[in-house]
Amino acid sequence: MTKKLVSLATAAIAVALLAGCSTGGSGSGSGATTAAKETPTQSKTAACKAFESKVESAAQGLQSEVAKLQSDPQAAVAKLKEFDTSLSEGVDAVTNPTVKPKAEAFHTAYTDMLTQIEAIAKDPQSADISKFTDTTTKVQEAGNDFQKACTA
């Protein structure tokens, strides 16, 4: 059962990182960047880049740490908490009214998943795989929504 949860956690985080933290390119041309500097409203492109810049460095190496969830759960959870802090900083960097709610939703879904991973790490026998699967689905959906907001 523990191996299945480790696999689910690793897969969920990998999907979350791919969907939520990578908008697949630089997006709009230089006009969006110029607009962000000229007006107090953050452009969509600038908002997405602001979020990504806070999150990308924290995401590097995260998957390898999550793989340690079974052998060293406390170290893996500590790394996941660091990523949660980076997500929070990323959300704080976003002011665009279209992108901010998507970034907040992704962070909330990730935090919910992290709470479940912490509980599983402390007591693997009491893990509710169905509930965890639902939570990982919410992370994936929130990541996809964020990505759509950034690429639309």
pLDDT in tens, 77-110: 888 888 899 899 999 999 999 999 999 999 999 9
pLDDT exceeds 70 at position 30: no
pTM, full prediction: 0.77
Q: For the chain, what are the domain ranges?
A: 2-151
* Domain 2-151 CATH class label: mainly alpha
Amino acid at 104: E
Helix (H) or strand (E) holding 27: none
Q: How large is the average pLDDT for residues 25-41?
A: 45
pLDDT for residue 10: 58
Report the range out of 70-74, 99-103, 114-118, 148-152 with the highest average pLDDT. Answer: 99-103
Q: How large is the average pLDDT for residues 111-138?
A: 86
